[in-house]
Amino acid sequence: MRSIFAIAAATIAMTFSTCIAQPLLEPELRLNIFPNNPPRVALTFDACSGKTDERILQTLIDNKISATIFVTARWIKRNPQAIVELKANADLFEIENHGAKHVPVIDFPIKVFGLEAAGSPEAVRAEIEGGAKAIEAAFGIKPKWFRGATGLYSASAEKTIAEMDYKLAGYSVHGDGGASFSTRRTASTFGAAKNGDVIIAHINQPSKPAGAGVVEGILKLKANGFVFVKLQDAFERPTPQINICNRCADSAH
Ligand SMILES: [Zn+2]
């Protein structure tokens, strides 16, 4: 079924600190809800760098659960075996663009959650193009969705993403807190997801306890009758709600 999009007016949290030049934006994305259909969520996983969490990947494959995986060029280079597995299950996995070097897609100099941002419009474009090139080389497909490192953007970088014809992949649930949550907290966060949520978690941290919670949480959603959709099947032209990020004020330097 083709859906239309949850469109919501932007709500602005005015508690944002003035310590950085421009506010950073955190797009929120939700699926449309069809009351007579089974509840549905979109599982989205970031493969930022590092390795592959086979606990999560094998759970998805074994249970035939669809997901959208955002990969960087850096991760692609280091995980040839996982790429074979993803390609062997192409019906389950949508592969999308998480950038080249995993730098926040913000076009002025700033540090966010410990990561130096791209820092200029040219570097923003290079981050997006570099991710796409690596995906085309490894998977033979052209990504349509983009999510930058940290999920935070400057307003002008968001414009660039749209100009480059990408849909911006927000989310509505921080499933694993950047892989920092405990197993229990991750499982309960997944388990508390509501109809229409877009959950973000990480598939590149096999040594963290959060991954076990992701597995538990996915299986709980499945047992509760949730349907799992890929972003490509849920949206034609999403209009994410854009929230100003309050958390980033703490990390901005
Ligand atoms: Zn990432």
How many whole angstroms from 149 Cα to the centroid of ligand 1?
4
How many whole angstroms from 70 Cα to the centroid of ligand 1?
8
What is the tens place of the pLDDT at every residue in 199-226? 999 999 999 999 999 999 999 999 999 9
How many whole angstroms from 192 Cα to the centroid of ligand 1?
23
Domains and CATH numbers, the chain: 25-31+38-99+131-145+165-251 (3.20.20.370)
What is the tens place of the pLDDT at every residue in 111-161? 999 999 999 999 999 999 999 999 999 999 999 999 999 999 999 999 999
DSSP H helical ranges for the chain: 54-62, 73-78, 80-88, 121-139, 155-163, 183-191, 210-223, 231-234, 248-251
Q: Cβ(159)–Cβ(128) under 8 Å?
A: no
How many whole angstroms from 101 Cα to the centroid of ligand 1?
10
How many whole angstroms from 34 Cα to the centroid of ligand 1?
31
Q: Please tell me the pTM assigned to this model.
A: 0.88
Neighbouring CB atoms inside 10 A of 59's CB total: 18
